Amino acid sequence: MYIGRVQLGNNVVIAILTKTGGVPAVPDNVPTVRIYAASTGTLVYTAKMPVADRYGATGMFLLPIFLNAAFSVGQYYATVGYQIQGTQVLEPYNFEIVPGGDVRGSVISMTWYDRPQAKFVVMETDSGRLEYGRNPRL
């Protein structure tokens, strides 16, 4: 499944609905996602997928992946593997990271902080980092 084109500092969301015979079902083991760089085949990221809604959506798993410095511009492919009723299942995904963005993430909140020695702008990024900048013209 093609996920799309994204920039560094954004999230790629991998979702899977585990099924048997076309009916959603709980797998024997937790689905595991593995992401590989398409150019080299190198394993870049691996994680187990958490359940999305334990009581509302049987077999629905969802994993948002923050594209940090471990990733670079280029094509990636991912596999999600799990076992259901003794049968091994492997689902393919792919996406592309395009130029732009920042591995620190996008600014999601910002505030002005005025001190006698300088004027600051304090920012929080979607990766959870707090950063500040100072400009004498602020």
* Residue-wise pLDDT tens digits, 11-65: 999 999 999 888 999 999 999 999 999 999 999 999 999 999 888 889 999 999 9
CATH of domain 2-101: 2.60.40.10
Take residue 128 and report the two structure tokens written for it. Answer: 């959870």
**Where are the chain's structural domains?**
2-101, 104-138
Helix segments in 19-112, DSSP class H: none
Calpha distance 53→15 (Å, rounded): 12
pLDDT interval class at 136 (50, 70, 90): low
pLDDT interval class at 137 (50, 70, 90): low
